């Protein structure tokens, strides 16, 4: 059963963060096209940068006792990436609930969508035990922003 619920939009304006990644020769085949598995590190680079940009680099997460392992990933390939292109990898927090969250990605070159992706992450402690999504992450989720409205306060059922 798939955990992916989010359909990443093709509108770059819907993503609050992006990271530029240049396609390396080693990631391509004999035709200069990026191998399908090479997309996953692009998502990782953008995810790590996104977390750093919101003040939660992995070094901080670890001191807080948290890990965010990927438990599912989906990539939809639209048009190949090729050697030496600069890829804009945009990231959005799609949802946060319970002990998991989803991130959506849009990979584009010069504004043209080339791929979309979703990663689903568990929230665990250093021993691998499930933890609730931390409040700081839940507050960034669209369902929280909608429920909080103009007040910015979490809904009564929000995890803390």
Catalytic annotation, residues: 29
43 and 73 Cβ atoms separated by less than 8 Å: yes
Q: Can you list the alpha helix ranges (DSSP code H) found in 15-153?
A: 39-53, 58-63, 135-138, 142-148
**DSSP classification of residue 144:** H
3-state SS assignment for residue 44: helix
Other CB atoms within 10 Å distance of the CB of residue 70: 14
Q: Is residue 5 within 8 Å of 102, Cβ to Cβ?
A: yes
The whole-angstrom separation of Cα 96 and Cα 115 is 23
Cβ(66)–Cβ(123) below 8 Å: yes
């Amino acid at each position: 059963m798939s955990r992916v619920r989010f359909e990443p939009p093709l509108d770059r304006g819907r993503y609050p963060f992006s990271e530029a990644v240049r396609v390396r020769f080693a990631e391509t085949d004999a035709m200069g096209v990026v191998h399908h598995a090479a997309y996953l590190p692009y998502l990782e680079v953008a995810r790590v940068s996104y977390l750093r940009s919101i003040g939660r680099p992995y070094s901080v997460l670890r001191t807080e006792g948290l890990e965010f392992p990927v438990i599912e990933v989906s990539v939809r390939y639209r048009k190949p990436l090729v050697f030496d292109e600069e890829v804009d990898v945009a990231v959005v927090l799609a949802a946060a609930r319970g002990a998991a969250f989803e991130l959506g990605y849009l990979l584009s070159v010069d504004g043209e969508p080339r791929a979309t992706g979703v990663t689903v992450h568990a929230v665990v402690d250093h021993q691998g035990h499930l933890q609730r999504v931390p409040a700081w992450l839940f507050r960034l989720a669209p369902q929280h922003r909608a429920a909080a409205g103009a007040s910015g306060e979490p809904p009564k059922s929000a995890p803390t």
